[in-house]
Homo-oligomer: A and B are copies of this chain.
Amino acid sequence: MTQIQSQLKNWQGVPFTNVIIDDAFWRPRLEVLRKVTLPTCLTKCEETGRISNFARAGGLMEGKFEGIYFNDSDVYKVLEGIAYSLMSERDPELEAEADRIIELLAAAQESDGYLCTYYTLEAPDSKWTDMEKHEMYNGGHLIEAAVAYYEATGKRTLLDVACSLVDHYDRLFGPGKRHWVEGHEEIELALVKLYRVTQEERYWKLSLWLLEERGHGHGVGEIWDKKEWGPAYCQDDVPVRDIEKVTGHAVRAMYLYTAMADVVHASGDPAYVDALHRVWAHTVERNMYVTGGIGPSRHNEGFTHDYDLPNESAYCETCAAIAMVFWNHRMNLLFGDAKYADVVEREMYNGALAGISLTGDKFFYVNPLASKGDHHRVSWFDTSCCPTNLARFLPSIGQYSYAQTGQGIAVNQYMNGEAKFVIESGLNVKLKQTTQYPWDGKVKLSVNPESSGFLSIRLRVPGWCRGYKVQVGGKYLSRVEAQTEQGYIVISRTWSQDDTIVLELDMPVEIVRARQEVSENIGRIAIQRGPIVYCLEQTDNSELSYDEYTFSAHERLQVDHLPELLGGVTILVGKNGEGKPCEFIPYYAWDNREPGFMQVWVREAEDEGLYSL
């Protein structure tokens, strides 16, 4: 085995249906997602003609195409969210609604398998002339919805539509056939999903071919002609295996890297490993906001240059934060390193979660780290990728909690609840977490193998955590056993029924500073506690004015958990550098009350002291 191949751990994901989330943080959000967000999104899709486009393309309705050429994808994404919701809880009404919509989707598919309502209705003779027109992007989301719906219900209708569509792609494109570079990556990761559920090898191989098409000048259309964008915008500037830096549109980049990781995982071929490591380091070490947000620029909805992380103008598209989860989860499965699950956590609790209101029906597209008071969530957008992405991301969030490592289980996320596994040896294991995470760092894990058996349990010690203790069966682990490997405590032993692990993670209030190269944050500090990044909102800080106050890194903050505030949050209460009262709330919870300013990075009060502590 080469050195690179030996890096590949090739862990398997654990489906979210194996994971019951029963806590005070996520479960209420998931209920709202199901009861409010999904219906809201469906209604918006109806009202804006997104669903009617299919009916029209299928000849079931008169009329022109409504909206923008990628609008098909919104319907698919909502369907995908519905599918995940049905996986958690069957709902005949919702299923009936989904089936009705699927009928329309199927009707819109042309006889040769092509499916994209924009071209069918507007420009049937112009297909495949412009990489930017999201034809395969739409197709990818269709695939994801189809796979999810099939897994949820066993129904094949949409899956058959997806397979026909991909067979159509397969006939037109591929080795020896037409070139194609899809402007907005998405199809590539979707094809791997389709392969996994159908076991049809040519699906992931088509993905590989599409990835290999990039960076050789095969792009066509508007984007290629726009000098200001250039091929870096859609990651078509270099062959993917040669990628050194993250560039361009953030969501596209993240979906690309996700697909590259998927292809490595599916094929076992390490060809993309070096590029993945390089671009991960470049993204996370030079281009990521403390909230996990990425892509500072509204011009290209993406990246500019290293360390360019302005707070007020931060673009940080919600979809990009969600896509960071997708990518980092794959990286965790590939390499078995907790640092990727750290990024998943950062997005889950901050950058991605901020995208949705507590009421579940308002959304951010753009997620700044500072606002003078005029940035608010709204109920829909002309380009509504973000609401629909949240609609499918959140219901399946349990899939990020665990991984199967062959010899055992890796615990990647801490949430009160239960999960079940079948490890490689065939042993059935249940694991129950008792914890108040993310508000408290103590986690009790009950390990319940159906019979006594050998099993390796990995516990992630989050990257923000500097001190921990771990007990098994009431005894602290020995120094050797309690050491971390790639960020995990590894406990390999024979487990009996109802063995208990108690993990205590230091979860103090912490001051965060950014590297000096981040010029906007020179002289500023942020507050974090556990995975939660905090912010100041005007409504709690009436004596303060936007950016006209300081905060001392030595302030002692009262840690106050308020179950009735903002769905139940721990707030931090103290005085600012000018002696005025100040309160911090979790960043994800901002803009859910009265409008006003918000800041994550605040000016640090001058410190005469010698030591940071």
Contact = CB atoms under 8 A, between A and B. Distances in A.
Given A554-B463, A556-B461, A611 B514 contact: yes
B506 A466 contact: no
Interface in A533-564: 554-560
B506 A559 contact: yes
Interface stretch (A106-114, A239-247, A283-291): A283-291
A556 B479 contact: no
Contacts of A466: 508-511, 554-557
Given A468-B556, A508-B506, A509-B467, A483 B610 contact: no
Interface stretch (A248-256, A259-267, A567-575): A567-575
Contacts of A554: 463, 466
A560 B610 contact: no
A556 B487 CA distance: 8
Contact of A284 (B465, B556, B610): B610
Nearest to A464: B613
Interface string A381-425: 000000000000000000000000000000000000000000000
B573 A467 contact: no
Given A506-B508, A573-B482, A556 B465 contact: yes
Interface in A303-327: 307, 309
B468 A558 contact: yes
Contacts of A465: 556
Contact of A479 (B461, B507, B511, B560): B560
A512 interface: yes
Interface in A596-611: 608-611
A514 B479 contact: no
Contact of A559 (B468, B518, B529): B468
Contact of A608 (B281, B484, B559, B581): B281
A375 interface: no
Interface string A455-483: 00000010111111110000010010011
A573 B479 contact: yes
A261 to B, nearest CB: 21
Interface string A430-467: 00000000000000000000000000000001011111
Interface string A517-538: 0100000000011000000000
A483 to B, nearest CB: 7
Contacts of A463: 554, 556
Contact of A610 (B514, B610, B612): B514
A528 B508 CA distance: 14
Given A467-B556, A509-B466, A557-B467, A285 B608 contact: yes
Contact of A558 (B479, B510, B574, B581): B479
A179 interface: no
A610 B286 contact: yes
A532 to B, nearest CB: 12
A156 interface: no
Contacts of A611: 290, 512-515
A566 to B, nearest CB: 15
A510 B509 CA distance: 11
Contact of A512 (B288, B468, B479, B613): B613
A487 B513 CA distance: 24
A467 B529 contact: yes
A515 B610 contact: yes
Interface centre among A508, A510, A575, A611 (most CB of B within 10 A): A611
A559 B513 contact: no
B528 A613 contact: yes
B560 A513 contact: no
Nearest to A287: B610
A394 to B, nearest CB: 25
A512 B612 contact: yes
Given A482-B558, A483-B558, A512-B612, 9 more contacts: A463-B556, A464-B613, A465-B556, A468-B558, A470-B558, A476-B560, A508-B510, A510-B613, A513-B612
14 contacts: A290-B610, A307-B610, A464-B613, A466-B511, A467-B556, A468-B556, A468-B559, A483-B575, A506-B506, A506-B508, A510-B613, A514-B611, A515-B611, A518-B610
